[in-house]
């Protein structure tokens, strides 16, 4: 399986923004992980019942209307390593392991 890249424009009206944080909206880390999982499922061509998060690092805050690039790379052990960038800025990285459907 080959590596893949996916772009995602953060909706300026994303429902997480009003509570995270008022006056300075920031995309919660769980939203970035959810998006990484959706792209991993698209790359694999299947949905997984569960995902294990091997690790996750959140390096830089993301605001409304930013365009993020998710780069996904399968590993020899069956995990999917991911990185997230906004332009040249590193936003997040980690690894995901799917369970069988």
List the chain pLDDT tens, one digit each, 101 residues.
Answer: 799 999 999 999 999 998 888 889 999 999 999 999 999 999 999 988 899 999 999 999 999 999 999 999 999 999 999 999 999 999 999 999 998 65
- In the chain, DSSP assigns E strands to 4-9, 51-58, 67-74, 80-86, 89-98
Give the span between the Cα atoms of 72 and 29, in whole angstroms. 17
Residues 6+ apart with CB under 8 A from 98: 40, 41, 44, 48, 50, 51, 78, 80
Decide: residue 87, CB within 10 A, 0-12 exposed, 13-18 middle, 19+ buried. Answer: exposed
Inside any domain, residue 85: yes
Q: What is the pTM of this model?
A: 0.93
Inside any domain, residue 100: yes
The residue segments making up the domain with residue 91 are: 49-54+77-101
Inside any domain, residue 38: no
Q: How many domains does the chain have?
A: 1
Inside any domain, residue 83: yes
Inside any domain, residue 34: no
Inside any domain, residue 10: no
């Amino acid at each position: 399986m080959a590596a893949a890249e996916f772009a995602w424009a953060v909706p300026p009206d994303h429902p997480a923004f009003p509570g995270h944080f008022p006056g300075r909206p920031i995309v919660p880390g769980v939203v970035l992980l959810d998006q990484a999982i959706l792209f991993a499922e698209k790359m694999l061509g299947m949905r997984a019942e569960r995902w294990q998060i091997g690790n996750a690092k959140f390096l830089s805050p993301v605001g409304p209307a930013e365009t993020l690039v998710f780069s996904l790379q399968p590993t020899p052990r069956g995990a999917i390593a991911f990185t997230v960038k906004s332009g040249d800025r590193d936003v997040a990285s980690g690894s995901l392991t799917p369970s069988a459907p």
